[in-house]
Structure 1
Amino acid sequence: MMGTVNVSYPEVFVLLGFSDRPLLEPVLFIVVSGFYVVSILGNGVIILVSCMDVSLHTPMYFFLVNLSFLDISFSTSIIPQLLVNLWGPQKTISYGGCVVQFYISHWLGATECVLLAVMSYDRYAAICRPLHYTAIMHPELCLRLAVTSWLGGLTTSMVGSTLTILLPLCGNNRIDHFFCEMPLIMQLACVDTSLNEMEMYLASFIFVVLPLGLILVSYSQIARAVLKIRSAEGRRKAFNTCSSHVAVVSLFYGSIIFMYLQPAKSNSHEQGKFIALFYTVVTPMLNPLIYTLRNKDVKNALRHIVLENCCRFTRKWGQT
């Protein structure tokens, strides 16, 4: 009977989050709400514009639509629960809700790593193999690469997350974070987690280190190709083609590397919460801004769609 109690799973988890800073919570609620709305609208606009404008039916924007949909999904898997916990005294999430959260966040995090590597390969093909670009990045290959990214992330999430939920927690239910993250659930286990840790390190190597290596190799080749371009206009055009993606990669990997390279101290753990807040709230909001503000094609397509719909509305209004 005692054994059954010891390995029992909690009905709810307590997400401590920022509860030790009660004066900060109302401020965070307002800021996070604003960023979340901007993120949904910005990424939604990119999806809408890329689908509606025929000139954007290219591999680059196909992968960008995938990234925008991924950002919306990732933010939505975490931020609504965060807002609920920031607003009221209750800091809990149901056991099922916690499991769903770390399954989805793990899936989408791994998918984004692979998708960013795929996008860097697309930029490599565009700049280093321009004459063969359309033959290399044909629609069938783009679809396969996108599906591989999503299924690869789903596979590692199913394996790692399933191994995690099989761990007995012995009633431990307090998570010192604002969302359910797989390593934090593992820390609550009352048994040896060596197998889980090995799987996590292997998955991290395959889905974080390898994609980052592919990105660095792609951009080293791109840099060599750009340096060979004689005209300043040609170099500027090549730079503009890659700058948005480089900025997004830097934001995503920069926050992850900064968080995981910190020493295991209490103050660094607090910093880790704010870094996690950055890549779950701020980065999904910045991605569409980076691609729209630094990209003439998206701005022109957006302007064309707005003007076309305004003219259509004006004509319809005039007829009535």
Structure 2
Amino acid sequence: MPKRPVNIPKGAQGYAEFHEKLEKIIEENWGITPQFTNPFSWGYSSTGIYVKDVNQKEYVAMLAENTPSKRAAMEKNFTIASKLNLSVRVPEQLKTKDGKFLLDIPRIEIKSGKDVENKLLSLGNFLSGIPPFDMNEDITLQATNILREIHQVDPNSLGIRLDTIECERPRFLHGDLTPSNILVGYGKIIAVLDFELSLIGPVEYDLARLAVFSWFRIQDSSFIVLLEKVQEEYGTEGATETSMELMKEFALLHCQKHLNNVKQHKDVYETEKAYKADLLFTERQLETLKADLAQIPNPVL
């Protein structure tokens, strides 16, 4: 589901000029001299940019929309990430020379291409791995075990207020542990990213989201089979079995919300063709998911 990085100028000349100016901003504010920069992930409101400096050290810059909601989400991510102690790593955010995590970029002027305006920039240590674009069942089950670990975190220890889904057994949730937010090296998950959507709620919310977006990436797979394997791998939640019915409800919710996001962000896509391809894919996935869920006894649909 490729999307153009938000407001990065199109065309080779525009990209070259943009990266040259971005590298200068990084050097001036973080004291790091980049040798190479390249986008490696993007979404509707942010772009991840790989940075290698002249000493061959690696970083990741995050360029995001400068809005109050996005700033709050990024600061939330920094706060949570800095306090977690997981078996896999969480990238450390670096402060500017002025001691700030977030840098306001009012405008990067580009002679050839569209100027980049009103952005937030952050920089963190890069953990050498890649997002699992070739997703598989094994990585999904590894992520399931990481979720079990995340769910044991005491939200009171984070010192931050989180949204809550009312439920019988509330837990701290990652909120968005999908293939885009894990890094993989040699077939193993080595890092977890992006706690911007963390909240408190039932573990089934996280498990269903992981299953849905993993299934999007795994070819020729049955969603229900994958969901059942995730449930089995996760095991009990305390002394209680996780609820398949609740996972199915959340799976449908996550898939429908993703379709709504695609429709709402048509302007982000490189071409009309790319938008229509992503829209058609997501619509088909939603219909397939509904059909899968309808085959289960006592369906939620």
What is the TM-score when the length of structure 2 is the normalising length? 0.24
> Is the strand fraction higher in 1 or 2?
2
Which structure exhibits the higher relative contact order, with contacts defined as CA atoms closer than 8 Å and separated by 6 or more residues? 1
> Is the helix fraction higher in 1 or 2?
1
What is the TM-score when the length of structure 1 is the normalising length? 0.23
